[in-house]
Structure 1
C-alpha cells in the first residue's frame, strides 16, 4: 500500500537524520523539523545512552496525584481514556506541568513496552531527562505535538509515535500537564493528534468546579443573557434580540463565550489570528465594535463577557457528558464556524466533531445516525456501522440509511 510505503520511508528518513546528528553533533538542518533539531541541540549527550527514563520519588508522585485536580477529572472520564487505549492498543499518560507521569493506562502490548522504559507513574519525561518527546514538546510549545520514531533523541522510544496535548485549567488558563497517546510508529494515523486534542478538552471539561465559576447548568437555566449558536451556522441572541455581527465579531464573541474567566489582549489575539500579521490596534477596534453591539457588557483586562452565556457547544458537550446521545446530536448543528482561521476555534471545532462522531459510532441508533448523516453526509462509516448493527432486523429508517450510503459513494 502507498500509505504503508510512505510511512516506512518516513521512518528510514528519521533514522538517517538521527544517525547523522549523533555522528556529527550538528544538522542535518534540512531533514529535521526545527523544533526537533533545536531540542536535540539543547539535550545532554548522555540521553542517547539511556536504558529507561529516570523515576521520581514514588511517595511524592503518589501524593502529587492525590492532590491534583487532574486526578478527579481523569476518574470522571476514565472509561473513555481506557477504551481509547484498549481499542487502539495505545498507552495513555497524564503528566504534571513538569512532565512527570502521574497516571497511565495501556493496551496489552503497549503496556509492556511502556513499563520497559519507565513510561509509568513517576517516570520523568522532561527534555533534560530523556530528550525531546511529544509530552515535553507540547508543554514547551503550549500546543498539541507529535514526535515520530527517531525524532525522539532517546533510542529507547525510536519504535514509538507519540501525540500529546496540553491540559489547561479552564478558569486560569494555567498549564496543568499534558495527555499523551503513544503506540508503535508503524501504526501512525492522521487522527492521532486530533484525538489527543479531544482527550485534553475532555479532561478540562471534567475538572472540578471552582468557587465563583458558573456551571453549564447555571448558564442554561438563565432566561436572559447571551445565547450563541456557532455549530453549523452563526447566530447571537442577547436578551431575546438577535445581534447583527460581522464574521470577525462573531469569532471574538465565540472565543469569549468559551472562556468564561476572560482572555487577555495577547491571548485573544493569538486565539483569533494565530500567526497572521494583524495588529493589536485592529483587534482593539473589533472589540470596541463588539462592545457597542453588546450594550457595553464586555469588560476589559481581561476581556470578559458580563452576562449569563449559553452556547450550543456547551449544550452538546454537556449532553455527551450526561450520556444523552440523542440530545447531543439534536443540539449539534454541524462544524463550528466552518472556514474559520482562528487556531483556537479550529481546535474546539475538531474536539466537538470528534466527540460527537465517536459517541455516535459507539452507539449507532438508527434515528440518531439519520440525524447525524444529514449534518455530515460524507461520513460513510457511521452509516455502515449502523446498518451492520441492524443486521437483518427490519427498521423503518433502513431505506433512508441505505439511500444515504449510496448517495455518499457516488
Structure 2
C-alpha cells in the first residue's frame, strides 16, 4: 500500500485503513494489508519493550534552563538557518511545523504554523518533550534516530493511539566528521496536510545541514592550523596539534593521521593517549598541542567494550593501560566491529563484504571503511585478515532481545545474529 499517495487522495480513508492495520497487528494477527516494513519492525520493538499502545507515558519536560543549555551545546544550533530557510517557508503555508530534537530525542526547537503548534501542544509535542521511540512509540523523531534513515509515520502508524491524528516526516542529522547522531529534524502536521514528497524534502534539507556542518569544521581546522604552524616550526621532536575532537590540524616529526581518539576529559599535563603513548598535553588555540614522549607505547592489548545494547546508539569504549575513551559509532562501523568481535579469527575484505553487503566483490568499500576504523583503533586492530589483536579483551553488550541488534542494519550477518540463541551471542 502506498500510504503517502492514499493520504493525498483520501485522508479519511487512509486513516481508516491504517487503523485497521494497527488493530490487527496489536491483536497478534495479520490483517488484509501488512504494515510497511519500517513500521512493522518498529511496532515489534515497542511490543517487546512494553510500550503501552493506549496511553502516552513519558518523563516530564526539560526545564527552560536545561533546554537553553542543550541548545547552546548542540552543534545543530549552527545549522538552524539552513533548516529554517529550507523548511519553514513551505511548512507554514502547508500548515506544518518544523521540530528539531537532539540525539536524546528531546525537542529543542519548534517553529511553524501557530494553529498546528497549538495542536502539537495537545500531543505533548512541546519544547523539552521526550520523543524517544522506546518512550513514546513509533514516531517521526524517535524512529529515524533508531534506524538512522528518514522515516514518514502516517496517522495510526504511530504506535500510541493518541498520536493517530498526526503525521510526521523525520530525517536524522549526523556529524559529517564521524557519523555520530546529532539529532533529528521533523516536519509534522495533521494527516490531511501531508504530501508524498514531504519525506524527500525533509531529507534533502537535512543533507544540506550536514554539508554546512562539514564546511564549519573545515573552517575551524584552518583557523587552528594557522595558529599551530608557527608553533610546531619552532619545536624539536614529534608533536601535533588537534582540535577538541581529535582532528589533526598540523603535525611535525611523525606520520600524519586524520584523527586521534581522545579521552572525554582531556586536561593539560602528562597523559597517556591511545595510539601515541605518553604525551605532554597543552591547550592551544581552542585545541591541544600534543608532544610525544620517548616512552614506548604499552604492549598490552587493553580492554574494549562494544555497547550494542541501546538501539540506534552503538558505542565503543577502550580502556587498559592508557586512559579510557568512548566513541559513538557510525552505523557502518558498528556493523564491522560487531562482526570482528564475534569472529575473533578475523575476516578478509571479501568476507566482510559478503557479511555486510551480501556481495563479496565490494572489497573497495570495506577497505575504505576499515581504514577509517583503524585511524582511531590504531594497533588494536590488525589486518590480513582484519581482526582485533589477540591479546585484546573484548566484551560485547547485546540488547535484551536479539531482534533489537543494530536495528538500522540490513547486513546479512547482522540479520543472522538477530536470531534468538545464535552462536554469536
What TM-score do you get using the length of structure 2 for normalisation?
A: 0.49
Q: 1:2 to 1:107 in 2, by over 3 A?
A: closer
**Cα contact 2:8–2:195 (8 A) shared by 1:** no
Q: Which residue of 2 aligns with 1:17?
A: 21
More strand, by proportion: 2
Q: Which residue of 2 aligns with 1:357?
A: none
Query: How far apart, in 2, do the equivalents of 1:51 and 1:172 lie?
Result: 34
What is the DSSP-based 3-state SS (H/G/I as helix, E as strand, rest coil) of the residue aligned with 2:62?
A: coil
Larger CA deviation: 183-192 vs 35-44: 35-44
| Count of equivalent residues | 245
Q: Which residue of 2 aligns with 1:198?
A: 204
CA deviation digits over 1:28-70, x for unaligned, max 9?
3763232243134135454522388842333222211111111
2:113 equivalent to 1:32: no
Q: 1:43 to 1:127 in 2, by over 3 A?
A: farther
- Aligned pairs for 1:198-217 within 5 A: 198-207=204-213, 209-210=216-217
What is the DSSP-based 3-state SS (H/G/I as helix, E as strand, rest coil) of the residue aligned with 1:109?
A: helix
Q: Which residue of 1 aligns with 2:91?
A: 85
RMSD: 3.9
**Cα contact 2:140–2:151 (8 A) shared by 1:** yes
Alignment gaps of 5+ in structure 2: 223-329, 338-348, 375-409, 411-425
Q: Which residue of 1 aligns with 2:106?
A: 100
What is the DSSP-based 3-state SS (H/G/I as helix, E as strand, rest coil) of the residue aligned with 1:163?
A: strand
Please report how far the alpha carbon of residue 128 of structure 1 lies from its aligned counterpart in structure 2 after TM superposition: 2.9
Query: How far apart, in 1, do the equivalents of 2:153 and 2:355 lie?
Result: 22
Q: Which residue of 2 aligns with 1:302?
A: 372
2:194 to 163, 188, 191: 188
Please report how far the alpha carbon of residue 167 of structure 1 lies from its aligned counterpart in structure 2 after TM superposition: 0.2
More helix, by proportion: 1
**Cα contact 1:90–1:183 (8 A) shared by 2:** yes
Query: How far apart, in 1, do the equivalents of 2:12 and 2:151 lie?
Result: 21
**Cα contact 2:6–2:14 (8 A) shared by 1:** no
Query: How far apart, in 1, do the equivalents of 2:161 and 2:370 lie?
Result: 49
- Aligned pairs for 1:230-269 within 5 A: none
**Cα contact 1:43–1:127 (8 A) shared by 2:** no
1:155 to 161, 167, 173: 161
- Aligned pairs for 1:337-356 within 5 A: none
Alignment gaps of 5+ in structure 1: 216-260, 289-297, 305-342, 344-410
Q: Which residue of 1 aligns with 2:363?
A: 284
Please report how far the alpha carbon of residue 148 of structure 1 lies from its aligned counterpart in structure 2 after TM superposition: 0.8
CA deviation digits over 1:126-170, x for unaligned, max 9?
123211112111011011111110111222321111111100111
Please report how far the alpha carbon of residue 87 of structure 1 lies from its aligned counterpart in structure 2 after TM superposition: 2.5
CA deviation digits over 1:171-211, x for unaligned, max 9?
11111011111111122311011011012112222337236
Please report how far the alpha carbon of residue 278 of structure 1 lies from its aligned counterpart in structure 2 after TM superposition: 1.2
**Cα contact 1:54–1:118 (8 A) shared by 2:** no
**Cα contact 1:159–1:184 (8 A) shared by 2:** yes
Q: 1:273 to 1:92 in 2, by over 3 A?
A: farther
What TM-score do you get using the length of structure 1 for normalisation?
A: 0.51
Q: 1:55 to 1:151 in 2, by over 3 A?
A: same
Please report how far the alpha carbon of residue 76 of structure 1 lies from its aligned counterpart in structure 2 after TM superposition: 5.0
Please report how far the alpha carbon of residue 116 of structure 1 lies from its aligned counterpart in structure 2 after TM superposition: 1.8
